[in-house]
Amino acid sequence: MKILRINMTNLSVRFEELGEYEGLGGRALTSAIISKEVDPLCHPLSADNKLVIACGLLGGTAAAMSGRVSVGCKSPLTGGIKEANAGGQAGQVMARLGIAAIVLEGKPKEEGTYKIYINKEGAKIENDNTLKMLPNYDLVEKIKKEFGEKIACVSIGPAGEMKLSGASVAVTDMELRPTRHAGRGGVGAVMGSKGVKVIVLDDAGTTPRQPKNPEAFKDANKRFVAGLQKHPVTGQGLPAYGTNVLTNIVNEVGAYPTYNFKEGRFAGARKISGEVQAELEKQRGGNPTHGCHRGCVIRCSGIYHDKDGHYLTKQPEYETVWALGGNCGIDDIDKIAMMDYLCDNYGVDTIEMGATIGVAMEAGILKWGDADGAINLLHEIGKGSYLGRIIGNGAAFTGRAFGVERVPVVKGQALPAYDPRAVQGIGVTYATSPMGADHTAGYSIALNVLKTGGFVDPLKPEGQVDLSRNLQIATAFIDSTGMCLFIAFALLDQPETNQALVDMINAFYGWDMKDSDVVEYGKKVLKFERDFNIRAGFTKQHDRLPRFFYKEPIPPHNVVFMVKDEELDQLFNW
């Protein structure tokens, strides 16, 4: 496997050995490269920043679930290190091309709209101004005409070209639609700052990567898949309803942030739940059970059709439905699906946009529940109007622009779909993750609410720091393998499935990794990230929730966030 360095200043490409990065994949690789090679004090949109796109350790192999792709940089949203990952086909395709990471460096001397084509012969950079400001769906259609359908695309929409801090990097799915997004932290703005509109990956003539020990690898993969299929969540719940099955449970336990985190329950939750969504998808000829990349055996994704039975968007995820729905008082699932499509098309993060629209509603720009107004705000981003540029820069920026006090962000990044007062463990993750408020970084909901891997009372502060620490370490490892994080539900409950994953990695690389090595691997990744952030000027005061979470009790439980600052400061003292 090689690193492909693309220098956008002199428009040159260079393949090089992994060298000191040998043994790293996915998030470990993006965070190591950013931590070692990027000046932590640089402007995120400057030539000194780098955008790293990396497949996981098991990318391009026959391992199930191994198609995630990590995108890393210094974040324009948080000012710290960022890794955002996505499904879709790109991770598998680049790995089959023998590329562990694509590193975009420098910045074009003259403005341009560049496309980069990579196949087994090498990489080519071309300025193509006909692609300028195309939304992601139109862009991919145009690229298909030029390169055919057996490709994968990594692209940005107009938001990325405008270098807005809420901009995402889109990855095409199995149907070659730009539906999977490395959404968080404004990674799309960094791609835009490099002048790169799209990377076209073509793996024609390549074969899957081969393990060192094929028999042991095959056996471990078989045990791993059987474990995922046996577990009720990965084998039944997620395929049947997708991630949006969480709406009802999070609402029932009073942790569903509503009206910009004012209440913990939303009266319209059932209308936008995964159960309703899956039923609609079936009725309209969509599909509630669909994989976002080849080799996914959980298939939590889906295809959402409009009232006339035409494709509208991929099945909106729980986070999206919450952000653009309940958080804004919107209970119309079709309008939420339309907003999901617009976010994908213009290339913005759905969580950041939902939180931002909530802040805009708090500012009185729109009324709570005004779905058409929210749709119009997203169109403003596509138009590049001044208002659209404010919204597209996220919740913190919008809060400042309109003088809003209650802005739900940590390190400048919007909080996801679980109120940290009603689920104290996730509050610890939001506060302390090097990524800013990020639920995936240490998904305490699994134990605080879903009773996967045990139970830690969500309403009490005790035990939450240990819980979040352990999950953050484990997640840093899983994010490095290229595996979808949803395997964790089976891993937490079934030691034999956990072992199958480790066996698979060992068989592939000829390693002898033990559980303790997995923990050290995860810690190493977090150390790269913490170290970068400290050098970028972050202090322990940045590892805090906004103060209103400590002062405003949230109904129905009427609790505030109770984990003490001194306890938060112990999270990385392992």
Partner 1 sequence: MRIKVKLFGGLSSQRDFSKNEEGDILLELSKPVTVAQLIELLELNKKPFIVVLNGVILNELSTQIDSNSELSLFPPIAGG
- Residues of this chain that interact with ligand SF4 (CB under 6 A) are 65, 87, 291-293, 296, 298-301, 484, 486
Enumerate long-range contacts of 541-546, CB under 8 Å, 24 or more apart.
Answer: 542/410, 542/411, 543/431, 543/432, 543/568, 543/569, 543/571, 544/410, 544/431, 544/568, 545/410, 545/420, 545/427, 545/430, 545/431, 546/406, 546/407, 546/408, 546/409, 546/410
Nearer to ligand SF4, 65 or 337 (CB): 65
Residue 276 DSSP class: H
Closest CB to ligand SF4 among residues 269, 292: 292
The dihedrals phi and psi of 62, each to the nearest 5 degrees, come to -85, 5
Task: Give the span between the Cα atoms of 331 and 333, in whole angstroms.
Answer: 6
How far apart are CB 484 and ligand SF4 at their closest, in Å? Answer: 3
Does 304 interact with partner 1 (rule: CB under 8 A)? no
For residue 177, the minimal CB distance to ligand SF4 (Å) is: 13
CB of 321 to partner 1, least distance (A): 10
Q: Which are the contacts of 548, defined by CB distance < 8 A and separation ≥ 6? A: 261, 405, 406
Q: How far is CA 419 from CA 253, 328, 360, 426, 434, in A?
A: 10, 14, 19, 8, 19
Binding positions for partner 1, 88-117, rule CB under 8 A: none
Minimum distance, C-beta of residue 352 to ligand SF4, in the bound complex (Å): 19
The nearer residue to partner 1, 273 or 393, going by C-beta atoms, is 273
Instruction: Name which of 2 and 299 has its Cβ closer to ligand SF4.
Output: 299
Identify which of 377, 328, 38, 354 has the alpha carbon closest to the alpha carbon of residue 183: 354
Token duo for residue 108: 């074009």
Among 258, 393, 440, 506, binds partner 1 (CB under 8 A): 440
CB closer to ligand SF4 out of 318 and 549: 318
Q: Are 393 and 420 in contact (CB under 8 A)?
A: no
Partner touching 9 among ligand SF4, partner 1, none, CB below 5 to 8 Å by kind: none
Site for partner 1 in 455-474 (CB under 8 A): 455, 457-459
Q: How far is the CB of 167 from partner 1 (least distance, A)?
A: 22
Amino acid at 422: A
HSE-up (13 A, CA, CB side) for residue 449: 22
Q: Which is nearer to ligand SF4, 366 or 488 (CB)?
A: 488
Which partner, ligand SF4, partner 1, none, binds residue 291 by CB below 5 to 8 Å per kind?
Answer: ligand SF4
Max Cα-Cα span within the chain? 62
Query: Is 148 exposed, middle or buried (CB count within 10 Å of its CB: 0-12, 13-18, 19+)?
Result: exposed
In angstroms, rounded to a whole number, what is the distance separating the alpha carbons of residues 566 and 225? Answer: 42
Q: Which does 43 bind (CB under 5 to 8 A by kind): partner 1, ligand SF4, none?
A: none
* Site for partner 1 contains 449 (CB under 8 A): yes
Is residue 84 part of the contact set for partner 1 (CB under 8 A)? no
Q: Which amino acid is at 307?
A: K
Closest distance of CB 265 from partner 1, Å: 8
Nearest-approach distance from CB 485 to ligand SF4, in angstroms? 7
CB of 175 to ligand SF4, least distance (A): 13
| Contact yes or no for 296/235 (Cβ under 8 A) | no
CB 322 within 8 A of CB 257: yes
Task: Give the interface segment with partner 1, choosing from 67-75, 99-107, 204-212, 235-243 (CB under 8 A).
Answer: 235-243
Q: Which of residues 247-276 bind partner 1 (CB under 8 A)?
A: 248-249, 252-254, 270, 273-275
Buried b (16+ CB within 10 A) or exposed e, 511-535: eebeeeebbebbbbbbbbbbbbbee
Interaction between residue 232 and partner 1 (CB under 8 A): yes
Binding-site size, partner 1 (CB under 8 A): 43
Q: How far is the CB of 521 from partner 1 (least distance, A)?
A: 22
Complex with ligand SF4: residue 65 or 250, whichever CB lies closer: 65
Applying CB under 8 A, the residues found at the interface with partner 1 are 232-233, 236-238, 240-246, 248-249, 252-254, 270, 273-275, 300, 317-319, 439-440, 443, 445-446, 449-452, 455, 457-459, 485-486, 489, 556-557
